[in-house]
Structure 1
């Protein structure tokens, strides 16, 4: 992957968050924060200005979808939702990019690369 991104992870399962962070760092990206709540995700996005967000759609404390909507009102940020129930995310946001949990690292890598390619497009 040629473009290193500053990535915000929003995931309320600690182990999945750590695993995602390690995987993204191995891919050459910088993980600027791993947050577990809607409020913390919004604060982290303001603080670290991520290039990309990987967001669990359904959080125990708030909503990843609501966090993304709030963050993107002030500054559009490409994002990928991860969810054990991709159909529910698509029902709420039909155009969302969703990776179904559990996922293999290469699936997430491909999705991130597609987003990078889209960002580079004129």
Structure 2
């Protein structure tokens, strides 16, 4: 039996972060940490080794979620799914440049989260 996908949640709003964590667990995935800054995300990812990160574009601190996703990918080989309220073309284009496994626009809908996580899990498992 394969282990559950380990998910890192990176979200600047604590209540939304808890909501995403709850939804991910409800879908049967393991949440290995919740971060609200790029530095915290890198720290958790270094120690907990997530399979994937759910990344908000706006984070606390000077480094945004797109750059944090790039660092996770380049330094730790952790792919991301963006979950964001930003849907303007410039931001979306910048986010898609780092080849995420998905891009979900808030408000978060559980069916969309499930489908995106399932597709991402297939890609992660396939290598």
Matches of 2:24 and 2:51, distance apart in 1:
13
1:73 aligned residue: 74
Q: Against the structure 1 CA distance between its residues 33 and 51, is the aligned structure 2 distance closer, same or farther, given a 3 Å change threshold?
A: same
Q: For residue 3 of structure 1, report the CA deviation from its aligned partner.
A: 5.9
User: Is 1:55–2:65 an aligned residue pair?
Assistant: no
- What is the count of residue pairs matched by the alignment? 121
Q: 1:80–1:99: 8 Å Cα contact kept in structure 2?
A: yes
What SS class does the counterpart of residue 81 from structure 1 fall into? strand
Q: For residue 89 of structure 1, report the CA deviation from its aligned partner.
A: 3.3
Q: What is the TM-score with the length of structure 2 in the denominator? A: 0.85
Q: For residue 103 of structure 1, report the CA deviation from its aligned partner.
A: 1.9
Matches of 1:3 and 1:110, distance apart in 2:
19
RMSD between aligned residues: 1.7
2:30 aligned residue: 30
User: Is 1:90–2:95 an aligned residue pair?
Assistant: no
Deviates more, 1:50-59 or 1:77-86: 77-86
Matches of 1:63 and 1:9, distance apart in 2:
14
